[in-house]
Chain A
């Protein structure tokens, strides 16, 4: 595993991939720069949320609005999808049968879509209980942080559909391979942000 030189942080394709391995150096490093700037945005939204915890203005608070069960289901969907994307990355790296790669990617996509659907259902329920963004500073901060993560997951799902289309039309050429590697970083990164959300927002709010 350590015998091949690493060109960038994260999973490297290795020399067997030739051009794609060469091209990935700049692309993946650039993507890490984007990812880290995104991390700053999320970090500051977490800070805003924590400073707004007391600002419920007489409206519904975490105890009334959050459910442990749905937070747990969403956590599991995202964690399993992170694992299945890891399996897809390995199928790409070790040039397994294309059906294996596409299979793992489709499973990942379905788990991501399940996560989004469940989150939308959660927001809908919060709205019906009076938990709308304009109700209080606490709810404004909540709806700035959690749906931004949901939008990221939605964007990642659209990107995944586009990459599946690229695989179908162009096959596994260099742009498709490097695209999959960057999407893998985004996907695992979004799972890391979700750890912060379920720990601080949901578990911290319910405990």
Chain B
């Protein structure tokens, strides 16, 4: 009798707790986070959450902070490097304690930005100065400033391609496949490396949406029941190319045990012909080449092998965007850090990436793109929120490796099915989800 009573009491306690649960913090303020007019007056201690644990450990971030303190002497900047950035920050965002400055996690829905971050300025004003500002614009207010952007295409080993007799960039997918074939027969190297096991390099294919048709609004156009894999569409061209590479046995023999870190050295040494990764990887590949005693100039970068008119196109997309926590007590100082880090730190140039600031020059790593008159497509991200909603509802995951892993499995015959059937299925799932999502 007594037992049941206590049990009932405990259950009641649980029930009340569950109902009240952790339902997030209070309402955040909507006050604009503006940089202080007088740098000497900005005070406070701010915490910056970053995914670059390597830079935090090597002291490079502290060196940036020291530079920053020369202009803003009263602001103390602390860094918190998180290895599993997405996973940890996502959970911390259920509380109010998620740093003062943070990178906006990809999993946060765009419509929720005003609940978590302080607005940084109006859309028009920000778009004048910065690239990629529409990626985090909600109701004409911008909530994030990109750290930097990347151009997209294939990183490849120039010397190896030359050895196979190819000096000009391929202009059609077929020409590209023929090039890979030549590498395989003439040099014996692995022409293309999928990085199937690590998964995220497969997502890099998605960032090329827009390169095929040279259309800034390519992703925005996915926001609806548009069958994204229909004949001639961006995704159909991109995914067919990947499928054909694997089907033609032009990729590594055993994709299930690939290794990203090792692949960098292999590419630098000319054991791998090409990989699809953003232009941020060029400096890393050059480092790998130096360590392996090879020439860093052999690392080349080429756009998707599709011509529009008589030139190539390459998309420019934003990396992580920096935002100010809506619950931060030192919004001014936080904003000052973001502005300084984006504009004056030299971080973007050092990483060899596309600067967020429109007035800054393109990096040296993309010299080939400039010389060959590649058209940059700065992709508009205004409807990304809706596209992501459809994507999640359909459980396809354009920015997740799973659906391309299945594509590769189909291509190498490890799973049943044909490419056409797979595209039909994806189209069906997308269109169905588009009808329900966002309504």
Q: Do A and B bind each other?
A: no
